[in-house]
Structure 1
């Protein structure tokens, strides 16, 4: 996978969302809520993604002149593979999600809770895509937004991150539950 244009990113985000929903819906209820040794259960990954989707969406909805006033122009315009390499390096250096993106553990596992979590994830993913869709492709490299691990990034780079982040968490869960799962493209 090597998206560049906004429509390619939007398509990748839609595909990642559909894959997450299909995967999560197919898990037995106890697996959906069970934490593997040293990791998050699938439900927590989805809640985490919903929180990060909300934050990226909020950033993309800020008027572009306000973004430029707040954060200036981006200092980088990395393509997808370079942005992913930088993110992986930040994780390898000990980078972790700030507490505001770490959801509380679920204490009442049920089908109703699973449905609510998946609905919130779906709505959040759709809102993110709608916010990104408002940006003309040629404007994605002109405004900067903050990222907790990567610093100031372009709107395009933030969209790349959102796409990779969904896949990173999905593949991580798949690898824990099935070690033969494929690596992220």
Structure 2
């Protein structure tokens, strides 16, 4: 499905809000615990914010500066195609590059992390209004795993990336091992 600006804005809002709503339901221990070596909810929130920040900044640059990354000679992929391509790369073993990996997160950081995440959402939404439909398909930005992709594709990616990490968090919650058992394993 090919999404227009209004649909992209809605998709972004939903993906950010769903992630925040879920994270807000977690007690501090589940916000900071890293079950089985996986990223905690706080670390995933930090990772998402780090990955969105450069895009929200770039959307405010004069478009002439974005010519550095070239322009796209082909139309943007559909949302579904971009998601399929990204998932294929992950299935092949790709991982977040060092710049986007989170550090240790503490419970007291939750309000600031949530505020920073929502700030990036607001920046994206506000800056998106300054882009024409044709410019979303013309200009490109580099992605560490997908290469140079159009602005439209980057916005699709951000929405999917948020949902991807939300799905990981929900899967961790549904695993057969209770959090109390995991804490006992860490302690003993």
Q: Same fold (TM over 0.5)?
A: yes
Choose between structure 1 and 2: higher helix proportion: 2
Match of 1:104 in 2: 103
| Superposed displacement of residue 3, structure 1 | 5.5
Match of 1:78 in 2: 77
1:58-97 to 2 correspondences below 5 Å? 58-68=57-67, 70-76=68-74, 77-97=76-96
Match of 1:152 in 2: 148
Cα separation, 2, equivalents of 1:3 and 1:114: 35
Give the 3 Å change call, closer, same or farther, for CA 75–172 of structure 1 in structure 2.
farther
| Superposed displacement of residue 125, structure 1 | 1.7
SS in 2 for 1:146: strand
1:28-43 to 2 correspondences below 5 Å? 28-43=27-42
SS in 2 for 1:61: coil
* CA root-mean-square deviation: 1.6
Match of 1:168 in 2: 164
Cα separation, 2, equivalents of 1:121 and 1:13: 12
Unaligned runs of 5+ in 2: 177-188
SS in 2 for 1:94: coil
Q: 1:3·1:9 contact (CA, 8 Å) conserved in 2?
A: no
Q: Please tell me whether Structure 1 or Structure 2 has the larger radius of gyration of its CA atoms.
A: 2
How many pairs align? Answer: 175
Q: 2:73·2:138 contact (CA, 8 Å) conserved in 1?
A: no
Cα separation, 2, equivalents of 1:75 and 1:31: 46
Cα separation, 2, equivalents of 1:131 and 1:97: 26
Q: 2:2·2:77 contact (CA, 8 Å) conserved in 1?
A: no
Unaligned runs of 5+ in 1: 181-185
1:110-129 to 2 correspondences below 5 Å? 110=107, 112-129=108-125
Cα separation, 2, equivalents of 1:94 and 1:54: 24
Normalised TM-score (structure 2): 0.87
Q: Which runs of 4+ in 1 moved over 4 A?
A: none
